[in-house]
Every structure is written in structure tokens, then in C-alpha cells.
Structure 1
Amino acid sequence: MGLLECCARCLIGAPFASLVATGLCFFGVALFCGCGHEALTGTEQLIETYFSKNYQDYEFLIDVIHGFQYFIYGTAAFFFLYGALLLAEGFYTTGAVRQIFGDYRTTICGKGLSATFVGITYVLTIIWLLVFACSAVPVYIYFNTWTTCQSIGNPTKTSASIGTLCADARMYGVLPWNAFPGKVCGSNLLSICKTSEFQMTFHLFIAAFVGAAATLVSLVTFIIATTYNFAVLRLMGRGTKF
């Protein structure tokens, strides 16, 4: 067998769906975890600097942020490992397809492993839908703040008084209602929106949201690929005596 023919057979048997899903998963998780971690750190600094001078007001928020950051560490490690396992499972099943007319026979262990991957991937997709929804919340909050700043910067486009246009961290549950001042209004808010800290944090949350969306798409692709792989193994196993 020549080198060219060998390479052609390898390309034909490659699990392209699993390869695409793995690459998308790694990209999405890296974007979500990296940008999400830095965005949470930026949010902590903005709250400390502009919205509350009393540590007790945002002590619980700091604990929540640190908890999410640890969650991000675990998520990154888990998905990189799980993506590699799903890619290996794709190569395993494709190897079975390539040998469908040979001496290869599927085993109960092989089919059970594929079924396990299908079930785990379905559960992960449902969980990640919640993560995806949660990642949209800070984007919504920052977008509302940015929109308010645009209104302050262009007073002719709004009938409200500039002094009444505020960003209140308390109304989103970021700070307790007894936090002081808890909100920033008018020209002070506009100056915050112009800072590099605010702009960077806002864009980092957008990037994290995009990463969560990419990871969700990769999981859906994995569902399709693993379900197809399991169906192939089931069909190959029919008529086989175990």
C-alpha cells in the first residue's frame, strides 16, 4: 500500500464531526473560562471602587465571584478531558465502520461505552443550557448600564433629566438594598462608562457569552455524532452472537 493510498484511507475514516465538535468545544471553553474569570475580577473592582465603600455590603458578592471562578477552573479541566474522550470515541467507532466488511465485531462493552457517552452528553447539554443562560445575565446588566451612559452622553435623545439616569447595582441583586450608595447617576456614571475597566469588563463578558454559545453548539454536535456512532454500533452488532 502506497503512502498516498494510506493517507486517503485515513482521511476517509476520520471522524470529522467529532473533530469539528472537539475544536469548537476547546475554543468555546477556553473563551468562556478565560474571559469569564477576568470579567468577574473586573466586576469586583468596579463594585469596590464605585458602588460601595463598605466591605460588608459586597462581602457575599466577593464570595460568589470566587466560587464561580473555582467553578470555571473545574469546568475548563473537565471539558478538555471530556472533549478528548469524545474524540477518541469517534475514532473508535469510525474504526469499526472502516472494518464493517472485515473480521471486526462490536462488543457489549463497546456499545455500552457509546451509550454512556450519549447519556452523559445529553445531561451536559441540559446543564450547559443553564450556564449559557446565566452568562447572558451580566451582558444584559452591562448593556443596560452602557445604554444609560449613551443617554447621558446624548441628552437631546432623552426627555429624562441627566441626574435621574442611574445604574443601580441593588436592583439586579448584585448588592443588598441597604448598600450605600449602591447606585451611580448622571455625569459620574458617564465617567465610569468611559473608563477602560468598564469597557474591558463589558467586552470580556460578551466574549464569555460567545464562548458559552460555542460550547453549546459543540455539545449539540457531539450529541448528533455520539448518537450516530451508537446507532452504527447497534446495527453492526445485529446478528452477532456474544
Structure 2
Amino acid sequence: MPPRACSGFGPCCGRTKPPALTSGPLSARPAPSAGGAAPCSHPGQGTSQEPAASRQASSPAKPARSPARARARPTCKLVPPALPSPGSPRPSRLSPAMGCFECCIKCLGGVPYASLVATILCFSGVALFCGCGHVALAGTVAILEQHFSTNTSDHALLSEVIQLMQYVIYGIASFFFLYGIILLAEGFYTTSAVKELHGEFKTTACGRCISGMFVFLTYVLGVAWLGVFGFSAVPVFMYYNIWSTCEVIKSPQTNGTAGVEQICVDIRQYGIIPWNAFPGKICGSALENICNTNEFYMSYHLFIVACAGAGATVIALIHFLMILSSNWAYLKDASKMQAYQDIKAKEEQELQDIQSRSKEQLNSYT
């Protein structure tokens, strides 16, 4: 009879089946059989002299896990993030881990560059108009008193009007300095609110009303400055006529001839002094001497610069008007979107509350 092959377990191979796992303590489990098993003989091989117990003793014993411990495994629950309530503030977009360069870029993103350019243009235009206009008016009074109206009572009203205009210039400069800063601050507020750079975005009906008031006030000021621009062109036209007349007198065709004394300028026709003012009209070489004075030269060029400053102020106010109109529209749309998001967040919060209550009731039933 041929020898039986080894099946892997049994006394023939020196290995026995491990005991079945039980739920009792480790001391109560049956120990594996340590008796000397007969060596397994195979054809063509020698007899194994190492007992099974010594082989089991040489290998480290692995502690067995209890079925209760094997079944108790940690489980992971996916908890959805809690939605913010409609009245809770929004977290700021500037994270504390953001570097200095990123913070600078973020802050520069909230600068209203259009309002900044309009403010600089408005300040420059108002400064040119007020400064140059004030000095040019003083020079005009000096020219009138010295050459066109020697009697003080003839140009007394004109002197009072010019003095009043100089005080008005002081008021215009002060008002537009303050108004430009207010519009620039409003641009900063609106840009930060629309881009939501600094946490919670919240706009009220009062804020939108103030923005609309700025739109109306800027429109009125723009129309008024159009009139100022046209009014500032009148002295430029008067001085240009006098200067062109002097150029005709200096020309080679008329210089040194008898017809030079017949070329005159009557300042009374412009209505700035009465018709009974003396002399009121300057002709020939006397007119040429007036054109060569420093007062005439400075007043003429300062009136030109003042007119250019008034034009720059008109452009700045038109620019401000476009900016304020777009900002008001952005605020209006953003407020509607904010109201929609608040209603949506409130509905989602109520839905979560209903689902949690239904789960609690279901768990209580089971």
C-alpha cells in the first residue's frame, strides 16, 4: 500500500488545526496540543527528527483578536457644513495666513481709481480757476484804473463786483475741496461694498438715497460749471481783441504811419464801465504801451489758464456723474442680490431643521 500524502494538518505533519475562536477570555481558550506527533515519512525522504512542539515554540505566538473587538471599528460620518444664518456676519476674505504682498494687492484692488482720477482732475481745475482768476481780476482792475477810467466813481460798481467775485472764488475753492474728498470717500465705500473686500456687505436704503443725492448734486454743479466756463471765456475774448489790435499797430504796414493813431480800443462797448467814463477809449501808441505792460501780459495769460481750469472742472464733474450713476446702479443690484441670498439661506436653514426633526422622530420610533 503506497504511503499517504500529507494533507497539511494532523499528527503526521506535526501541525494541528488552530482552535475555534470563542468569545470568552484568553485563559479559557483550549491550548493547542503539545504532544509528540509521529514524524511524517515520505518516499525518498528521511525521517524528520524535529518535534512539532519545538517548531511551534520557536515561532512567536500572535495574539488573537476577539470578535467583539474586530467588529467594533470606528465609523466616519460626513457632516454637512452649517449654513450661515441670514443675520450673521460674513467672514473676511483677508485670511491671517496671507502675506504682506498679497494683502497689499488685495487693498489696492479696493481703490476706486476712476474716482481718484476724477478727484485729482477736479482739484487741479478748481485750483487753476480760483488762483489764476483771482490774480487776473486784480490785474484787470489795475489796468482799468490807470488807463481806461481815471475817475474812481465811474468804475466803483465794477470794483465792488470784482471784489465780490474774489470772495466767491474763496468759497468755491473751499467747497470743492470738501466735496471732492466726500465723493472720493463715497467711491471707496461703494467699491469696497460691491467687491465685498472687508467682511460683511450691507447696504441700506439710506445709503442708496445718499448716493442718489450725490448724483443729483453733481449734475446741478456740472450745469453750473458749464456757465462758469462760458463766463470765463468773456475776459479771454476781450483781452484777445486788445492784443490783436496791438499786433496790428506793431505790424510793419501800419507802424510809423499816420493811420496808427486812428486804431483804437473802446472798452465801454463791453459794458464793464459806463459810457460817460473818461477816457474809455485808447488809441495808437498809448494802446501799444498798454499791451507792453506786465499787468496786461499776466492778466491775459492768467485768464486763459483760468478758462482751461474751468473746462477741466467740467470734465471732472461729468466723470464724477458717470461714476456715481454706475455706483448707484451697482448698489441697487447688490442690495437685491443680498436680499435674495438671505431668503435662500433662511429657507435652507429651515429645511435642515425639518430634516433633523424628522430624523429624531424616526429614531425615537425605532
CA contact (8 A) 1:155 1:162 kept: no
- Opposite residue 48 of structure 1, the aligned amino acid is E
Q: 1:12 aligns with which of 109, 115, 122?
A: 109
Which residue number in structure 2 is paired with residue 79 of structure 1?
176
- Aligned-pair CA distance for 1:174: 1.3
1:58 aligns with 2:155: yes
Which residue number in structure 2 is paired with residue 195 of structure 1?
293
Which residue number in structure 2 is paired with residue 174 of structure 1?
272
Q: SS of 1:156's equivalent?
A: coil
Which residue number in structure 2 is paired with residue 221 of structure 1?
319
Separation in 2, partners of 1:165, 1:97: 65
CA 1:240–1:170: 2 relative to 1, 3 Å: same
- Aligned-pair CA distance for 1:66: 0.5
CA 1:57–1:88: 2 relative to 1, 3 Å: same
- Aligned-pair CA distance for 1:155: 4.8
1:135 aligns with 2:232: yes
CA contact (8 A) 1:100 1:236 kept: no
Structure 2 residue ranges without an equivalent (≥5): 1-97, 343-366
1:211 aligns with 2:305: no
CA 1:178–1:101: 2 relative to 1, 3 Å: closer
- Aligned-pair CA distance for 1:128: 0.6
Q: Which has the higher contact order (CA 8 A, sep 6+)?
A: 1
- Aligned-pair CA distance for 1:105: 2.5
Give the structure with the higher percent helix. Answer: 1
Q: SS of 2:108's equivalent?
A: helix
1:185-205 CA distance string (max 9 Å, x none)? 111101110111110111111
- Opposite residue 118 of structure 1, the aligned amino acid is V
Separation in 1, partners of 2:159, 2:295: 17
Alignment of 1:133-172 (within 5 A): 133-156=230-253, 161-172=259-270
CA 1:155–1:161: 2 relative to 1, 3 Å: farther
Q: 1:125 aligns with which of 222, 230, 242?
A: 222
1:139-188 CA distance string (max 9 Å, x none)? 00001100000001005279993222222110101110111110111111
Between 81-90 and 177-186, the greater mean CA deviation after superposition: 177-186
Separation in 1, partners of 2:250, 2:198: 71
CA contact (8 A) 2:121 2:316 kept: yes
TM-score when normalising by structure 2: 0.64
CA RMSD in angstroms comes to 1.9
Q: SS of 2:278's equivalent?
A: coil
Separation in 2, partners of 1:204, 1:160: 34
Separation in 2, partners of 1:160, 1:233: 73
State the number of aligned residues.
242
Structure 1's consecutive aligned runs of 4 or more residues displaced over 6 angstroms after TM superposition are 157-160
Considering only CA atoms, is the larger Rg found in Structure 1 or Structure 2? 2
Separation in 2, partners of 1:220, 1:160: 53
Which residue number in structure 2 is paired with residue 27 of structure 1?
124
CA 1:239–1:99: 2 relative to 1, 3 Å: closer
- Opposite residue 232 of structure 1, the aligned amino acid is Y
Separation in 1, partners of 2:164, 2:227: 17
1:11-64 CA distance string (max 9 Å, x none)? 222101110011111111111001100000000000000011101110010011
Separation in 1, partners of 2:174, 2:258: 49
Separation in 2, partners of 1:160, 1:138: 30
CA contact (8 A) 2:192 2:198 kept: no
TM-score when normalising by structure 1: 0.95
CA 1:28–1:102: 2 relative to 1, 3 Å: same
CA contact (8 A) 1:28 1:211 kept: yes
Separation in 2, partners of 1:122, 1:46: 37
Separation in 2, partners of 1:210, 1:137: 13
Q: SS of 1:167's equivalent?
A: strand
Separation in 2, partners of 1:130, 1:164: 36
Separation in 2, partners of 1:104, 1:115: 19
CA contact (8 A) 2:110 2:197 kept: no
Separation in 2, partners of 1:144, 1:70: 28
Structure 1 residue ranges without an equivalent (≥5): none
Q: SS of 1:176's equivalent?
A: coil
